[in-house]
Amino acid sequence: MTKTNQKSNIVAIVTMCFIFAMISFVTNMAAPFGNIWKGQYNWAAMMGNMMNFAAYLFMGIPAGNMLVKFGYKKTTLIGLATGFVGICIQYLSSFSFLAGSAIYVYLLGAFVCGFCVCMLNTVVNPMLNILGGGGNKGNQLIQIGGTLNSLTGTLTPLLVGVLIGTVTDKTAMSDVTPLLFIAMAVFAVSFVIIKLVNIPEPAKERGNVVYEHKVWEFRHTLLGVIAIFFYVGVEIGIPAQLNFYISDLGFVGSAAVGGFLAAAYWLLMMVGRFASSALSGKIATRTQMICMTSLAIVLLLVAIFLPESISMTVKGAAVPMKTIFIAACGICTSIMWGAIFNLSVEGLGKYTEKASGLFMTMVVGGGIMPLIQEFIAHKTGAITSYWLVIAMLAYILYYALIGCKNVNKDIPVE
């Protein structure tokens, strides 16, 4: 590889990692913004999050087709422009003249932003995997990007919290307009940066390609798509129910403690991704998946069966010890996104871009599975609902042990 190519790759890697961080920045605004709307509409607390993830269902496959037709750079630019529009729509919901219609304007903005993050995710994951040459190195780059993703995911709710302060019946979207302006500026600057930098275009370099097979004919890809559906449900469901469980205990400051432990989960995800980015060049992706998924199942089993009477002090309050085991799952889920993607597209060649689109479609699991878990929690209790999470993790473990093996190597991919 020439020095020019090495320099170009470094610029592309840095650019993709920055985009990875932006994805979390946009996505993680939805949940704290829900605090603004739930005072006016009880049903609206998680609807911004749901609209964000629902967009993946509609945009995933088209985004993959865009990679093939327009290339990585143009798809990224379209995604950034879409994100700018989505943030502008959310900003419009802060105007008082909209009155009762404001919530629907906001949800439309969240849905448009979902299109944005879907397109950006469709670009970032295969590009980092390709720049790393696939395999362990490809997973390593995805985990580095994931570390920055987790960092912005942790900071965004904190920024919203600072701007809102205390939630009252007078809290409104106008309180967070500074963050919306920051988001608009980030999208605008990012658009200019992407416009100026060179990004490899593996799909275009292949020229006119004939696809003799459907991407789901690759068994390891199809099973990986199912795994990511469950994974996003696991990632979102674990901290959400943890927060609800502690908040419902009803002691003074229970909501603050619940938020603290949920934040600890996300912080551990960042730590885990950072560690994986350092280790992935030496430890196989599949090995990491098997170990971390098994550990997550063990931690949740301990949490379910540990008596509630066994407690420890967190932020001056006595909380059940089982909550610590649940929060610790963040270290386990941290590596799963990158690992599942890495294993799912291994050996796909010209089918990689289409696989990425199908992969992103199933991120809708982050909206669907937590709702099912919430239904179970409402009927049987928050801790009991973690049996659903264990079932999803069991499938992910199956994928790591058996499902990720490429049994379709006879299909030509070049």
Hey, what amino acid is at 228?
I
CA atoms of 19 and 6, how far apart (whole Å) = 20
Q: Please name every residue paired with 318 in a beta bridge, in sequence order, or none if there are none.
A: 313
pTM reported for the whole predicted model: 0.80
What DSSP designation does 408 have? Answer: -
| Tokens (6 digits) for 395 | 């499938």
Q: Alpha helices, DSSP H only, in 96-134?
A: 102-131
Q: What's residue 79's pLDDT?
A: 93
Of the candidates 213, 121, 172, 157, the one whose C-alpha atom is nearest the C-alpha of residue 412 is 213
Tens of pLDDT, residue by residue, the chain (414 residues): 445 455 557 877 888 888 888 887 787 777 667 667 766 776 776 688 788 888 998 998 898 888 888 888 899 999 999 999 999 999 998 888 888 888 899 999 999 999 998 999 888 888 887 777 766 777 788 888 888 877 877 777 667 666 665 555 667 788 778 888 988 988 898 898 888 888 778 766 666 666 677 888 889 999 999 999 999 999 988 988 887 788 778 777 776 777 778 878 888 988 998 888 888 778 888 999 999 999 999 999 999 999 999 988 887 888 899 999 999 999 999 999 888 988 988 888 878 888 888 888 898 898 889 888 988 988 999 899 999 999 999 999 999 999 998 877 766 566
CA atoms of 317 and 125, how far apart (whole Å) = 41
Helix (H, G, I), strand (E, B) or coil at 279: helix
CA atoms of 414 and 164, how far apart (whole Å) = 53
**Domain 1-198, CATH among 3.50.50.60, 3.30.420.300, 3.40.50.720, 1.20.1250.20:** 1.20.1250.20
The class of domain 214-414 in CATH terms is mainly alpha
Tens of pLDDT, residue by residue over 184-199, are 988 898 898 888 888 7
Q: What's residue 211's pLDDT?
A: 64
φ, ψ for residue 325, nearest 5 deg: -65, -35
Helix (H, G, I), strand (E, B) or coil at 234: helix
The ranges of the chain annotated as CATH 1.20.1250.20 are 1-198, 214-414
Residue 412 host element (H or E): none
With a CB cutoff of 8 Å and minimum separation 6, the contacts of 26 are 83, 86, 87, 113, 116, 117, 183
Q: What's residue 1's pLDDT?
A: 46
Tens of pLDDT, residue by residue over 340-392, are 988 988 888 878 888 888 888 898 898 889 888 988 988 999 899 999 999 99
With a CB cutoff of 8 Å and minimum separation 6, the contacts of 288 are 276, 279, 280, 335, 339
CA atoms of 60 and 222, how far apart (whole Å) = 15
With a CB cutoff of 8 Å and minimum separation 6, the contacts of 294 are 397
